[in-house]
Amino acid sequence: MILETAIKNFRRHLAGRVLYLVALALLVMVSYDCLTTFQDSFISRISQGNPALVALLLLFFSLLGFSVLIIFYANRFFIHQHRSEIGLMIISGLSRGQIALIFFLETLFGELLALGFGLLLGLLTNKLFAMLLLRLMGLRAATNHWFSFSALWKTSLGFLIVFALVGIFDSSRIFSLRTVRLLYPNELGDIRQRNSWLNRLLAWLGPLLVIGGYVAVFKLSWIHFMETLRFSDRTATNTVLIMGALILGIWFCFRNTLPALFSWLQGTKWAYDQQRILDLATTGQEVQFHHQSLTLTTLFVTASVVLLGFASVLYSDGFRNLEEEAPIDLVADRQFHDHVLQQIKAKGGHLQRLAHLPVKIMPVTLHGPKSDVIMSQATMPIEIVGMHNYLQIQRHQKNLLPVILDRNQALFISQDFQYQHVHLHELMRNQVQFADGKLPRLQIVAFSRVYPLGSNLFFGNVLVVPDDIFEQIPSANSRVLVGYRLKKIAPDSPFLKKIDDDSYQSKASRQMRYRHPQQLQKAQITIYQDVKRDLSNAYISSNYSVRGPSQVLLQRVLGAIVFVIGLLAILMTFAWASVCSLRELSEVERTRFDYLTLTKIGIDQHHLLRYSNWKNRMLFLSPVIFGIGNGLLVMRFVGLYLNHLPMKLLYLLTAAVFIVYWCFYLFTSYNYRRIIKMTTPPDQQGR
């Protein structure tokens, strides 16, 4: 009988839970795809055991964790839906254990259906999943795998553990339910608008915490913590405090502020002249009743927007960085190039010399708007190349900015400039003064992020100057870089990877000790070679660089991370929207007889449906809009530091998030109206 009751309950509620089960199936599908792809030997071989693939494993466990949360919440609404039945079973003499078993079986049928369907979808989409991942990782290889017994049972086991875990939570909840509350539900009545000082305080505290959190986000340099991730740092405490304040603020807003505001609105005379305002005001108790899920919706939407933002930044910026890299296979300082060349030739590699680039270094001062911000100090070291040599390199490196410099003009090359939040036109109004007082001031007339022969062999900022100026600059600490084209060795071969790794070792890297007093002439540059790397020193560069391995590694890591983050955000959006839909549909079981009563006392059904639409829209979309606002604000803030943040792409993805929630709202609203319309007095139903 327990089984029979569970099956019948499951069948009765199936229609309203379809989207939730589809969302669950999608989580299973992606989990299976992640494991299969991670375990596939072919993919592992062609990606050369790239550590980025571990991201797939992280995604698998993240999805399991997220599944616990959404199933937990969905079951909470199911229990809410079943409360009078549970009460009846208790008073009929069924033990709590038997009731928990009925409920567990009922939910398990749906979960098993989703698991089976998800695994089937996983088998069907596995090849597509792997091909998309490989494409983003820059691997052009066809993969034909789709079935993995190991992934199949591991995914099944993982989700069965999730189902069991949530089953235990649900059982403990059923054991703690009070019978009288189940049989005489009056939840909204219990939540009285307490006019206590605490309630009023929290109602004010909510928006204050949110606004304070936003202000703190802009004022405190928590971004430093995000860069270093050092928890011992003071900024870590600030970051945690800001995030905590924001979450608490959002919670109080839904729990206290909005209900208090709506309650106040209900008492105002003018609300009765504005039907929409009155409709809004009457949703106050619903908002308070669901404040927990509304807060979570806001947080999940924020997280989705931020994740999509980071995915789009990584995709656009990371791949632009890849494109900006010099398409020159090997660059070496003269001092080292014999040693490297010998190694490559010994391995059968063929080298073709392309161009050489003399480089000099000198302290400079900028004069002009925001020069102190650009330099970050009183003076700055700058590496200098001549225009003729720059143009020579341009023949082999087409992504270099084409520029012809007149007398006393200079091209400024920097990748750090974009983080300084200075407009380009302000940079162009700056002049460069060299430490050598005999040299004339140069006007910066152009800016580029692309370094000749690649960025690895430079400390930071580079200046391209007219040849006559370059000739006058002292040759202390000068060097010559030589670029080569490399043939007969694959760019991602282990041999080149080893050379690349070696180029970052202490023996092959250069360090610059720079002292920058207020007076330019007293600024000193000392370059150390072959010393133990001092991580606190910001000025480090390589003596030689091979392009292939780091390019390949970067592309694969970027591809995998963008893929994983984007997928997580999309799944999170879809799955949580389905839980919101369940919440509203579980509510209609409680409210439909209220609507019926209102119809009986003469209120037009058209008006009731309009009110239900309004209420659904308010509960469904207000936390979504709040979350989107939060997410965009966070990304906009990050954008202050990343001028290149592709906000257009982020806006597009944010619109996609909103559309998903909007579609779920339409589905929910349609079903809600359908149930209200179907509700008739029992004696009017067919016998």
Return all residues near 486 (Cβ < 8 A) that are at least 6 apart.
329, 330, 344, 349, 350, 351, 352, 546, 548
Q: Are 81 and 13 in contact (CB under 8 A)?
A: yes
Count of residues that bind other proteins according to CB under 8 A:
33
Q: Are 430 and 371 in contact (CB under 8 A)?
A: yes
Query: Closest CB to other proteins among 18 and 647?
Result: 18
Query: Closest CB to other proteins among 94 and 344?
Result: 94
Q: Does 683 bind other proteins (CB under 8 A)?
A: yes
Query: Closest CB to other proteins among 362 and 585?
Result: 585
- Taking the C-alpha atoms of residue 239 and residue 431, their distance in angstroms, rounded to an integer, is 38
Among 24, 56, 94, 618, binds other proteins (CB under 8 A): 94
String of contacts with other proteins for each residue 69-88, x by CB under 8 A: ---------------xx-xx
Other CB atoms within 10 Å distance of the CB of residue 63: 26
Query: Closest CB to other proteins among 190 and 273?
Result: 190
| Residue 491 vs residues 52, 281, 500, 505, 559: alpha-carbon distances, Å | 18, 65, 11, 20, 18
- Taking the C-alpha atoms of residue 304 and residue 214, their distance in angstroms, rounded to an integer, is 19
129: left (phi over 0), alpha (psi -120 to 50) or beta: alpha
**CA of residue 123 relative to chain centroid, distance:** 27
Q: Does 8 bind other proteins (CB under 8 A)?
A: yes
Q: Does 123 bind other proteins (CB under 8 A)?
A: no
- Taking the C-alpha atoms of residue 280 and residue 274, their distance in angstroms, rounded to an integer, is 10
Q: Does 91 bind other proteins (CB under 8 A)?
A: yes
Of 164-172, 180-188, 528-536, 558-566: span binding other proteins (CB under 8 A): 180-188
Q: Are 565 and 310 in contact (CB under 8 A)?
A: yes
- DSSP letter string, 635-666: HHHHHHH-TT--HHHHHHHHHHHHHHHHHHHH
Phi, psi of 395 (to 5 degrees): -65, -30
Q: Does 9 bind other proteins (CB under 8 A)?
A: yes
Among 39, 44, 48, 98, binds other proteins (CB under 8 A): 98
Query: Closest CB to other proteins among 179 and 493?
Result: 179
String of contacts with other proteins for each residue 637-666, x by CB under 8 A: ------------------------------
Q: Does 529 bind other proteins (CB under 8 A)?
A: no
Among 157, 180, 215, 625, binds other proteins (CB under 8 A): 180
Cβ 89 to other proteins, closest distance in Å? Answer: 8
Residue type for position 182: L
Residue labelled with tokens 């119809």: 599
Query: Closest CB to other proteins among 175 and 231?
Result: 175
Query: Closest CB to other proteins among 197 and 270?
Result: 197
Q: Does 95 bind other proteins (CB under 8 A)?
A: yes
Task: Identify which of 152, 61, 161 has the alpha carbon closest to the alpha carbon of residue 108.
Answer: 161
Query: Closest CB to other proteins among 437 and 682?
Result: 682
Return all residues near 12 (Cβ < 8 A) that are at least 6 apart.
none
Of 178-186, 460-468, 491-499, 514-522: span binding other proteins (CB under 8 A): 178-186
Q: Does 5 bind other proteins (CB under 8 A)?
A: yes
Query: Closest CB to other proteins among 179 and 420?
Result: 179
Of 33-41, 90-98, 270-278, 557-565: span binding other proteins (CB under 8 A): 90-98
Question: What 3-state DSSP class applies to 327?
Answer: coil
Query: Closest CB to other proteins among 180 and 655?
Result: 180
Which positions lie near other proteins, rule CB under 8 A?
1-2, 4-5, 8-9, 11-12, 84-85, 87-96, 98, 175, 178-180, 183-184, 192, 682-683, 685-687
